[in-house]
Amino acid sequence: MEKENKQCNEKDLFLEKLFQEYLPEKDNLIQMLNEIQEHYGYVPMHVQKELSEYLKIPMAEIYGVVTFYSRFSLEPQGKYKISVCLGTACFVKGSQKIMDRLTDRLKIEPGQTTKDGLFTIEQTRCVGACGLAPVFTVNGEVYGKASVQKLDQVLDELINKEKQNA
């Protein structure tokens, strides 16, 4: 319970500081959402409510912005966000096998995060690297001409890195 109260107080302090940095103007919505996404790793509903009150913008409008831009998430994201391109060029060159291996290995589906909070899987339609197909990304870093073996290698490196830091 004490830990929850501490987290609540930290969140309140973050929002207090954020509201001091920005005037309560609608034009500041995207910048504020960016900072909220960076701080929490997603845009929690209670924060959307406080932002709505501060900026005097309806909740529906804030929710609309959060769900429109792929930059924002309504759910906590993993430390490592892995996206597999399933666009035509990547799909034809085998990206579905990479996605299947990823979901099998991490035991989650696209849009989900592992219970330990390390990995989130996403599927994308194009990352603009068709010449490197198939492609997957980890936190925006592109792995081109990918294979199931390359995915396993990258996952093993990330998992080992986390074990060493624990």
What's the CATH code of the domain at 96?
3.40.30.10
Residue at a domain's end among 21, 36, 68 = 68
Chain segment 52-80, per-residue pLDDT in tens: 999 999 999 999 999 998 789 998 889 99
Q: Find the largest Cα–Cα distance for the chain.
A: 52
Highest mean pLDDT: which range of 40-44, 105-109, 123-127: 105-109
pLDDT greater than 50 at residue 3 = no
Domain with 15 in it: 2-68
Tell whether 17 and 62 lie within a shared domain.
yes
- Average pLDDT of the residues in 130-148: 96
End of a domain among 16, 45, 68? Answer: 68
Contact 40, 8 (CB under 8 A): no
∠ CA 32-69-57, nearest 5°, is 45
